[in-house]
Structure 1
């Protein structure tokens, strides 16, 4: 090995060690944002996969700490649903045990500390408590943001839940394509349209746990990735299938943990709150 090669190698090692030393400390918590009892699961397949079935969906939100910055991913069901009795005759019956501020308080976090509120898509079960965090920059797919102003409003979209951002009193950051949230590749919003036109997912890279993929509503149950299950109310079938393929491809390439946010079986893939993954 000549002197030039030795110097280049030494420089590369120094650069890599410096990058490792400067890498952000990233931590991830799963928060309970409610449950939705589905009385007719046929809604979730346009190929009649679930005719006559019932199931309870979990509603998961996530807190990400990036050094001293905090980002909330999805804002769950509205606080008005705390303690709501489940109507077993309803097609969809949501209920909530406790709100986000109550859970955040248990790990010493106040709503004002949330600087970014990332929303996978614009449905009521993902933006229900958004207005609790008016100081946060709302990060949402541009196409989904536009739907809050549509007439008539699309299925499950209610502008009231993001009023501070729609009236201009809070900052909104419409997302087109992928977005590296902190600029270091540790937290990346991924464009995964189909369920809604601006649907997104989130990639979080953790030092010990490894990469974690939070799927938004690209799929509602794990088996939908295998059986290509597309809900009848999705915005675009082809985009949904392409986004499923993208997420499974990323999971395979990065050896990432893929978490379906509405699948109760996936809750155990992360530590039980108030513990975190890092």
Structure 2
């Protein structure tokens, strides 16, 4: 029986970031953050929607519109200055997760599972709308978020640890599946091999990617912020934010997986080409 019937994308607004953020750059993060004077063109804030026989699955949940309407959403002081220099957002009233899903024929109440690639604010924005869903995150990411100085490391805990959410923390376990080599561990979301979470640290310590395997269609790899441009990833280039050694290792692993599956399509959260790449790969 077919387990995945459709994959689509919704966008909860746009974001402008620094060119060095996209990369590649030899500059230290804090150097380019302090000195860069340019912004990229607006890039999407994507969440991916998978129709699985067990229920509707999201990969990431976008950005909360409150981040552009509530002056107190981001921290103040030095942390606030850093957030201001990192990104500029545009999110219209029709670009909430609920309204974007509805525009694509879905009811937010039908979301069974939301997988978070990581816990930065432009991936957890839909959490207030998902009290009925299970929220899946890697245990290493959760531990990182709970460490001191969370806001300085990109984790806004008061927008994450919300009342009424059903968290499920997963840790990598042996997969016993040579077809996903060089990844030997991960988490099979439903136990049927169609949706497999792979550990892809680098942007954050516990970042996850989602391998989507569909009948009679190319596989998809949803990678969060491992890259901001699938072509840069294919070239082996890494972005300007995160642990460079971990990013290099993870990008090499993903490219090894791509070499083993030439049709595999990489879908990043902020890649302007992702929507057309998904359409070309067959969204249904």
* Band the TM-score falls in, shorter-chain normalisation: 0.7 to 0.9
What secondary structure sits across from 2:45 in the alignment? strand
User: How many residue pairs align between the two structures?
Assistant: 244
Matching residue of 1:159? 157
- Structure 1 residue matching 2:122: 3-state secondary structure: helix
Alignment of 1:74-93 (within 5 A): 74-81=60-67, 90-93=85-88
Instruction: Give the alignment partner of residue 91 of structure 2, picking from 87, 96, 100.
Output: 96
Q: Does 1:230 align with 2:209?
A: no
> Do the aligned partners of residues 44 and 269 (structure 1) sit closer, same or farther apart at CA in structure 2, a change above 3 Å counting?
closer
* CA–CA distance in structure 1, aligned partners of residues 3 and 275 of structure 2: 25
Equivalent in the alignment of 2:58: 72
Task: Give 1:12's aligned residue.
Answer: none
- Residue 144 of structure 1 pairs with residue 158 of structure 2: no
Once the two structures are superposed, what CA deviation does each residue of 1:127-164 show, in whole Å capped at 9, x if it has no partner? 01212101111111112112332221142211122233
RMSD: 2.6
CA change 1:138–1:91 in 2 (3 A) is: closer
Alignment of 1:113 onto 2:110: yes
Residue in structure 2 matching 1:251, options 252, 258, 270: 258
1:11 corresponding residue in structure 2: none
SS at match of 2:279: coil
Contact 2:22 2:227 in 1 (8 A): no
Distance verdict in 2 for CA 1:48–1:150, change over 3 Å: closer
Q: CA deviation at 1:188?
A: 0.9
SS of the aligned residue for 2:212 comes to strand
Which TM-score applies when normalising by structure 1? 0.79
Deviation at 1:173, TM superposition (A): 1.4
**1:205, 1:139 → 2: CA distance?**
19
Larger radius of gyration: 1
How far, CA to CA, are the matches of 1:25 and 1:265 in structure 2? 23
C-alpha separation between the residues in 1 aligned to 2:144 and 2:212? 27
Residues 25 and 201 of structure 1: is their aligned pair in 2 closer, same or farther, counting only changes over 3 Å?
A: closer
Tell me the secondary structure at the aligned position of residue 242 of structure 1: helix
Q: CA deviation at 1:53?
A: 4.7
Deviations 1:4-55 (A, max 9, x none): xxxxxxxxxxxxxxxxxx34243211111221112x3234445149966531
Structure-2 residue corresponding to 1:14: none
* Contact 2:109–2:130 (8 Å) recurs in 1: yes
Structure 1 residue 133 corresponds to structure 2 residue 142: no
Which runs of no fewer than 5 residues in structure 1 stay unpaired? 1-21
Segments of structure 2 that go 5 or more residues without pairing to the other structure are 71-83, 173-185
Query: How much has 1:223 moved relative to structure 2?
Result: 4.2
Q: TM-score of the superposition, structure 2-length normalised?
A: 0.77
Bigger CA drift: 51-60 or 133-142? 51-60
